[in-house]
Amino acid sequence: MTHLHDDKIKELEEKAAQIRKDTIESVINAKSGHIAGPLDMADIFTLMYFHVLKHDPKNPDWPERDRLVLSNGHICPVQYATLAHAGYFPVSELKTLRQLGTRLQGHPHRTALPGLETTSGPLGSGLSQSVGMAIAARMDGLHSYIFCLMSDGEHQAGQTWEAVMLAGREKLWNLVAIMDRNNIQIDGMTEDILPLEPIREKYEAFNWHVIEANGHDFGEMHSAIEQAKVIHEKPTMIIAHTIAGQGVEFMERKFPWHSKAFKPEEAKQALHELRTLGGKIKSEHE
C-alpha cells in the first residue's frame, strides 16, 4: 500500500480549508442549508477528488471512471465546492446555491451538473444505487470502484440494510462505503434517537469488511481506502469517525448545526476560525 507524503498532506489540508470556507460562504449566500455535515466531510471529499478517485473533469462521463455516490445528499454544499475546485464548473457559481434556476440545488440533481452520479432525496437510497453500479461495473468488466458516502443517521432507514445484505451476498469487492460517523442528526444524537451500535458488528454479520479510521486524518483515511482495495472477497465499510462542524469551534459536536442559517456575527466568526485553521484563505465576508 502507498502512503501519503507530508507535502501532499499539507496540500490536502490547505485545499480542505479552502473548500470549508467556500462551503460556508455558499450557505451564507443561500441563507439556508445543511452545514455541520459538510464541514466534517470536507477532508474526505478533498482526499477523494484530489488523490483517490480515478476521474476526469474534462470528461465527466468517462466510462472507466470511479463513481462517487453521495447518499446523504443534503450535505451537497461540500460536494459542490469540491467539484468546483476540481475543475467541473467555475468556483464563482457556488454563490448560486439554492437560488431560483441554479444548477446547485438543495439536493444533487444528476443531469443538472457534471460530476454528479445520482439524484438524491430520501435518505437510505444511495447504497442501493451504489450496489447496482457495482454489479453493472463487474458485468462490464470494468476495474472501477464505486464509493458510497453515507451518513450514520441514514442507517436508521430499512432500505440501507437491504442494500447491505445484497452487497454482502454478491461479494462486491469494487464497492467501498464510507460512513460519516459524526453521531448527530437533525433531532439530536443518533444514539438517543434510534441507537445504531454495534454498527461494526452489524456490517460484519452481513459479510462486509469493516475498517475504522479518523475521518480528519488524511493518512489514516488513505490507508483505509488502500486496504479496502486489496479486499477481493467482500465489500468494505469504512467507519470514518468525524466531528460535526469540524473547523468551527462553536459549531463542533452540536446537533442544531445539522441544518441552521447563520446569523451575521456567526458567519463572521466561522470564517475567522477557518482562516486560523487553514492559514491565509480569502473570504468575501471579512
| Type and span of the H or E element at 272 | helix 264-278
The grid cell for 129 is: 444505487
What pLDDT is stored for residue 2 in this prediction?
A: 64
Residues 201-212: tens digit of each pLDDT: 999 999 999 999
1 in a structural domain = no
DSSP labels for 57-90? TTSTT-TTS-EEEESSGGGHHHHHHHHHHHTSS-
CA gap 238, 224 in Å, rounded: 7
139 in a structural domain = yes
What pLDDT is stored for residue 10 in this prediction?
A: 95
Give the pLDDT band of residue 4 (cuts 50, 70, 90): confident
What pLDDT is stored for residue 32 in this prediction?
A: 86
16 in a structural domain = yes
Residue 277 has pLDDT above 70, yes or no: no
Give the pLDDT band of residue 262 (cuts 50, 70, 90): confident
Which domain, by its residues, includes 184?
Answer: 6-278
Which residue did the predictor score with more confidence, 278 or 26? 26
Nearest to 246 by CA among 183, 170, 169: 183
286 in a structural domain = no
- Answer whether 34's CB lies under 8 Å from 97's CB: no
107 in a structural domain = yes
Q: Strand ranges (DSSP E) for 80-204?
A: 146-151, 175-181, 184-185, 188-189
Give the pLDDT band of residue 198 (cuts 50, 70, 90): very high
DSSP state of 254: -
Rg of the chain over Cα atoms, rounded to whole angstroms, equals 18
Percent of the chain with pLDDT over 70: 95
The average confidence (pLDDT) of the chain is 92
Residue 275 has pLDDT above 80, yes or no: no
Give the pLDDT band of residue 259 (cuts 50, 70, 90): confident
Residues 64-117: tens digit of each pLDDT: 999 999 999 999 999 999 999 999 999 999 999 999 999 999 999 999 999 999
The tally of domains found in the chain comes to 1
283 in a structural domain = no
pTM of the model: 0.93
284 in a structural domain = no
Give the pLDDT band of residue 284 (cuts 50, 70, 90): very low
75 in a structural domain = yes
The grid cell for 219 is: 493518512
CATH of the domain at 57: 3.40.50.970
Residues 8-20: tens digit of each pLDDT: 999 999 999 999 9
